[in-house]
Amino acid sequence: MDLQGKNTVVTGAGRGIGAALAETFHTRGANVVLADLVGASDAAALLGGDRVVGITADVSTEDGNYRLVESAREVFGPIDLFFANAGVGSGTTLADTPEEVWATAFDVNVHAHRWAAKYLIPEWLERGEGYFCSTASAAGLLAQIGSGPYTLTKRAAVAFAEWMSITYGDAGIKVTCLCPQGVNTEMLHGGDDPISGGNVVKAAGAVLEPADVAEQVANTIEAETFFVLPHPEVADYTQFKAADPDRWLSGMRKLQRRVLES
């Protein structure tokens, strides 16, 4: 896909990876709707011009996704690319995570992707083209030490993206899934728990800047390939996990002990 002139929507665009994606798409000539619960208008104002608009949206509900899709169409017309980037990283163990935290994690990290696609796919099938992108995580391919909700929902996000590509790929619909490890965002630095996802990720490898991740995403979209793995070692870990799962699980437990002891 050539992003020049394409109508794009990015959720979770008020900050972090989402804001960087919106800026990169805008720089490459796209018309961009920045959507977020907080900060979308401010982020859009920083980009400026008549090819960008900020929309306050709550993607944790089906109605919020429906309203976002309809509002974006009213602004620029048919949506060419939708990037389901919004995500939450809350939740720890079975004993310490309330049910409402589990529910929010599934609503934002998984169901928001499904709800958005529900209102995008019919038009895309009629047009014979469309591009669905999502932010999952390396945790979606591996696991997130310290957080059950994050591990489960990001694994589900990867599975949904794969299913979308399998089901609709022959109908002209493209799918890309972003699976980073550590990125320098508020989610990475939040929390004082030594076994929080952020602490584990920072111990596991390099922390990248959102702008660098966004450039890789844009290049992948232009190439129309599925995975974006900003940390190349994630591909190696995934292959190792598949080849020797017991050894991989043992290594993950060792990493968990190391983080707890630090």
112-121 pLDDT, tens digit per residue, is 999 999 999 9
What 244-247 contacts at long range (C-beta under 8 Å, 24+ apart), as own/partner pairs, is none
pLDDT at position 39: 96
CATH number at residue 106: 3.40.50.720
Residue 192, pLDDT above cutoff 50: no
Judge whether 118 lies within some domain. yes
Q: If phi over 0 gives left and psi between -120 and 50 gives alpha, with beta otherwise, what is residue 213?
A: alpha
The residue among 196 and 205 whose pLDDT is bigger is 205
Q: Is the pLDDT of residue 189 over 90?
A: no
Burial of 223 (0-12, 13-18, 19+ CB in 10 A): exposed
3-state secondary structure of 3: coil
Q: How many CB atoms lie within 10 A of CB 247?
A: 11
pLDDT (tens digit per residue) in 58-108: 999 999 999 999 999 999 999 999 999 999 999 999 999 999 999 999 999
Range of 73's domain? 7-233
In a domain, 246, yes or no: no
Q: Is residue 115 part of a domain?
A: yes
245 domain residue, yes or no: no
Check residue 200 and give its pLDDT.
63
* Span 163-188, average pLDDT: 94
- Asked if pLDDT for residue 194 goes beyond 60, the answer is no
Element (H, E) at 198: helix 197-204
- pLDDT of 259 reads 84
pLDDT tens sequence across 215-249: 999 999 999 999 999 999 999 999 999 999 999 99
Would the pLDDT of 40 be above 90? yes
The closest of 68, 86, 77, 84 to 31, measured between CA atoms, is 77
Q: Has residue 1 been placed in a domain? A: no
- Length of the chain (residues): 262
**Banded pLDDT at 199 (limits 50, 70, 90):** low
pTM here is 0.94
Q: What is the DSSP letter of 111?
A: I
Examine the pLDDT at 191 and tell me if it is beyond 70. Answer: no
In a domain, 259, yes or no: no
What does the pLDDT read at residue 262? 73
Please give the Cα distance from 40 to 221 (Å, whole number): 23
Is the confidence at residue 201, as pLDDT, over 70?
A: no
Average pLDDT taken over every residue of the chain: 94
pLDDT bucket at 204, cuts 50 / 70 / 90? low
Residue 41 in any domain: the answer is yes
262 belongs to a structural domain:
no
**How many structural domains does the chain have?**
1
